[in-house]
Chains A and B, each alone.
Chain A
Amino acid sequence: MSSPAATVAQAIRKPGGLRTLDIGRYTLLIVLLLIVVVTAIGNPRFLSVNNLMNILFQVSALGIVASGQTILLIAGGLDLSVGAALSVAGLATALTIMSTGSVTLGILAGVAAGVVVGTINGMLVATNRATPFIITLGTMTFLQGVAILMSGGSPINGTGKLFDVFGLGDFLGVPWPVYAMIVSILAMFLILRFTTLGRYAFAIGGNEEAARLSGIPVRRIKIALYALSGLFVGAAGVILTGILDSGLPSMGTGYELRAIAAVVIGGTPLIGGRGTVIGTLGGVLLLGLVSNSMNLLGVGANFQSAVLGLIITAAVLLQKKT
């Protein structure tokens, strides 16, 4: 293994010494590098600062949702309703701004919607024997209906200052949503590494019965984790509403699968017990890079979806080797 790749992989890895060969860790980096090289050769504009910033901007909401999803997967959970919840949060924001004229209230409404939905999911998962997959599939369908009812089937346009900040604004040349994504990832990194909540997530995902026998309040922690993920989803809903300058009932469609894909590509196994949010960032960037490079290389929209699916499948299959 060449030393630069190894060094980067080491940086991603927790300090804890070299273990067995971590092929899966390198796979993601190699795929990322390959995409960069191929696209850069095909279209030199790809590597321009402008375009790279554009990629980050485009994946910012996904990055926030995927950060929240990371801790759920680590804890052996899953939330399929995050896409629909994102739509509901975005519509709550847009509707509140439209009716009160207050951007602050709009932000609060969106974040609160995310947290409420997350908490309800958490309570359902913690107190039922059914798998999180089935439970959140149900809430997803329900929330899709709620989003259509809220919007009356058409976009809620006009978010005023929210659009000025998240849609148009930047700081030192970096758009505000990108900062929001970085803050989300950093926050999740700190939670996973340095808090009891993060540690409990690892323990529950690794062995729920052992966690219970160690006196961990497993139900309460699960509810807290889904609520936390909901907070991230709410924030992403607010930001995406700002970016689009409107709330749409379909704005979150597909986010659940891309977020879960990003987390799994990033090395967090679906069975839980381990994982990193830095890996998730890698997964998010991979998805963003692939879409962008296909746009630049002139790949048609119908092909893009198929190619993206292939890459996700391949990345996950390679990851299984770890």
Chain B
Amino acid sequence: MQSETPLAIQVQGVTKSFLGQRALDDIHFEVARGEVHGLVGKNGAGKSTFMKILSGAQPPDSGDIIVGGQAFKALNPAEGRAAGIAIVYQNPELHLDLSVAANIFLGAEPRMALGIIDEKAMARQASELLARLGLNLPVGRRLGDLDIADRQQVAIAKAVREKAHVLLLDEPTAALNKAQAEFLFNLIRDLARQGMAIVYVSHHLDEVLAISDRITVLRNGRKVALVDGKGADKEGLIAMIVGRTLDAVEPRRLDKPRAEAFLVMDGVSSEGGLDRVSLEVAKGEIVGLTGLIGGGANALAAVIGGLDHRHVSGAMTLGGRPYAPRAVREAIARGVLFIPEDMRGRGLVMSLSIAKNISLAALRSLSKLGWLKLAKETGVATAMSEQLDLNPRAPSREVRFLSGGNQRKALLGRAIFADGQLFVLEEPTQGVDVESQRQIHDHLRHLAAKGATIVFVSTDLEELIALADRILVLRGGRIEQSLSPEGLDPQQLLAAIQTQSTRSLN
């Protein structure tokens, strides 16, 4: 069945356009059996489109996909699966109410007489399969009770059960912590050793460099480079991704925050998990919050932003006046703007335009007796788009058509327009390309220089070091350590986060 070529999948001259705009231009691409092939590029470079074509979710306009010795003009998802291609998204598409075993065997359940599913055989086969992959998952558990890392492993196990020999992984570590990611990398290496071809798509260049045998770089829908994973370095990759050389390390801000305290917290505890946190943040200061998942960084942001207001004890002042928001809108009225990590689920209104999303938190300033000043709104949105380098500069465009980086900018624009004095952000640049990340960092530095105070939660070590004036590491709902990013390197920061976890285990 398998041809003599060692290639698992080969793509020849694939081209795809959307409404006259070329998303992919004459892409040649191949992955050998047993190879881990990294795929990198900015948002909008064509990675997602390419993955969709590989998995059969979308047909190319022209070109061939050769898989298992068979050439396809276009694959549909069923053909893709039959040809042995499986795709696993960062949030795997599985059935949360079914058991682990049922998910793995969905559509191919072992059966007894009368077509009744043989639950015992299914559980046994699932256990065997998981054991073979070195995975330790409870086969009988409802999938919805497992975390994202486990669900991803289930999705991969399902792909193996389907005898996939090409595995597409789309941003697999986005929702994982370091330990979970390490586990995943080992699993990927194992699968590759067994002959599986793996396409690994990620914004995390360090990961891609660490795991890939070869790396394909896409830019503006073209393949600009195919490099050897061992010989490549990060600066070189960034240069190829962006198209011009960038300094590997972002310059830190030069100005210093002012001395006056703006936000003062005194022994604040919360239902969300804060434990007697005391904290002073100066006007114009940028404070980074980090820690392991559940350590309290997000809980602290929720209390400051007015999201978590039930059973909050202790005292807070803002600008010298008592601050105890009982709802998000009371926080906004005091100039505290919370910007969530999940911008699609909690941030933007996808059915509305850029302008309407930017104005949403401050419609009162754009209306009189309940009547909107639409012309003024358009003007404000245009000015904000310019200020934030929002692309495209078309305020009437619906935000769902924007790239991730531009969507984050629109969200930031909303907070700025709502006259924010204190910005509380969660993972401000997650899932964003390198260039947009820099721009967003620059905007935040600029806001701080003008006197705004910024508190952000991040798990991105480089981001914390480049952006923050002070890094607070939280653990068990308390601030365990305050670090100066000056001269701090990512390893040290990571060590600070990790040592605490072991210490508390003792």
Contacts of B333 in A (CB 8 A): 215
A147 to chain B, nearest CB (A): 34
A213 touches B372 (CB 8 A): no
Contacts of A15 in B (CB 8 A): 396
B378 to chain A, nearest CB (A): 11
A105 to chain B, nearest CB (A): 29
B372 touches A199 (CB 8 A): yes
0/1 string, B321-359, CB within 8 A of A gives 1: 000000011011100001010000111111111001000
Query: Given B338, B352, B367, B396, which contacts A202 in the complex, CB threshold below 8 Å?
Result: B352
How distant is the Cα of A210 from the Cα of B360 in the complex, in angstroms? 9
How distant is the Cα of A16 from the Cα of B355 in the complex, in angstroms? 12
B345 touches A214 (CB 8 A): no
Q: Is A42 an interface residue (CB 8 A)?
A: no
Contacts of A214 in B (CB 8 A): 328, 332, 360-361, 414, 418
A215 touches B329 (CB 8 A): yes
Interface residues of B (CB under 8 A from A): 19, 307, 328-329, 331-333, 338, 340, 345-353, 356, 360-361, 363-364, 367, 370-372, 374, 394, 396, 398, 414, 418
With A16-B353, A196-B367 known as contacts, the answer to whether A210 contacts B19 (CB < 8 A) is no
B19 touches A20 (CB 8 A): yes
Nearest opposing residue in chain A for B372, CB measure: A194
Contacts of A16 in B (CB 8 A): 353, 396
Nearest opposing residue in chain B for A202, CB measure: B352
B328 touches A209 (CB 8 A): no
B338 touches A199 (CB 8 A): no
B359 to chain A, nearest CB (A): 8
A194 touches B371 (CB 8 A): yes
Query: Given B328, B351, B352, B374, which contacts A213 in the complex, CB threshold below 8 Å?
Result: B328
With A213-B346, A214-B360 known as contacts, the answer to whether A203 contacts B352 (CB < 8 A) is yes
Q: List 18 A-B contacts (CB under 8 A).
A: A17-B394, A195-B367, A196-B367, A196-B370, A196-B371, A197-B370, A202-B351, A202-B352, A203-B352, A203-B360, A206-B349, A210-B346, A210-B349, A210-B360, A211-B349, A213-B346, A215-B333, A273-B352
Interface size class of A (residues with CB under 8 A): 20 to 34
Nearest opposing residue in chain A for B396, CB measure: A16
Query: Given A206, A215, A217, which contacts B351 in the complex, CB threshold below 8 Å?
Result: A206
How distant is the Cα of A20 from the Cα of B19 in the complex, in angstroms? 8
Q: Is A274 an interface residue (CB 8 A)?
A: yes
Question: From residue 1 to 60 of chain A, which have CB atoms closer than 8 A to chain B?
Answer: 15-17, 19-20
Q: Is A104 an interface residue (CB 8 A)?
A: no
A232 to chain B, nearest CB (A): 18
How distant is the Cα of A134 from the Cα of B352 in the complex, in angstroms? 28
Given A196-B371, A209-B345, A215-B329, 12 other A-B residues pairs in contact with their CB atoms under 8 A? A16-B396, A194-B374, A196-B364, A196-B367, A202-B352, A203-B349, A206-B349, A206-B352, A207-B348, A214-B328, A215-B331, A273-B352
How distant is the Cα of A237 from the Cα of B307 in the complex, in angstroms? 42
Contacts of A274 in B (CB 8 A): 351
Contacts of A206 in B (CB 8 A): 349-352
Contacts of B353 in A (CB 8 A): 16
Query: Given B307, B360, B371, which contacts A211 in the complex, CB threshold below 8 Å?
Result: B360
B347 touches A196 (CB 8 A): no
Question: From residue 186 to 225 of chain A, which have CB atoms closer than 8 A to chain B?
Answer: 194-197, 199-200, 202-203, 205-207, 209-217
Q: Which of A17, A199, A206, A210 has the most CB of B within 10 A?
A: A210
With A16-B396, A195-B370, A214-B414 known as contacts, the answer to whether A207 contacts B349 (CB < 8 A) is yes
A196 touches B352 (CB 8 A): no
B418 to chain A, nearest CB (A): 7
B356 touches A213 (CB 8 A): no
B347 touches A199 (CB 8 A): no
Contacts of B371 in A (CB 8 A): 194-196
How distant is the Cα of A203 from the Cα of B372 in the complex, in angstroms? 15
How distant is the Cα of A199 from the Cα of B329 in the complex, in angstroms? 17
A209 touches B360 (CB 8 A): no
How distant is the Cα of A16 from the Cα of B397 in the complex, in angstroms? 8
Query: Given A20, A216, A273, which contacts B360 in the complex, CB threshold below 8 Å?
Result: A216
How distant is the Cα of A105 from the Cα of B345 in the complex, in angstroms? 48
How distant is the Cα of A16 from the Cα of B348 in the complex, in angstroms? 19
B367 touches A210 (CB 8 A): no
How distant is the Cα of A274 from the Cα of B349 in the complex, in angstroms? 10
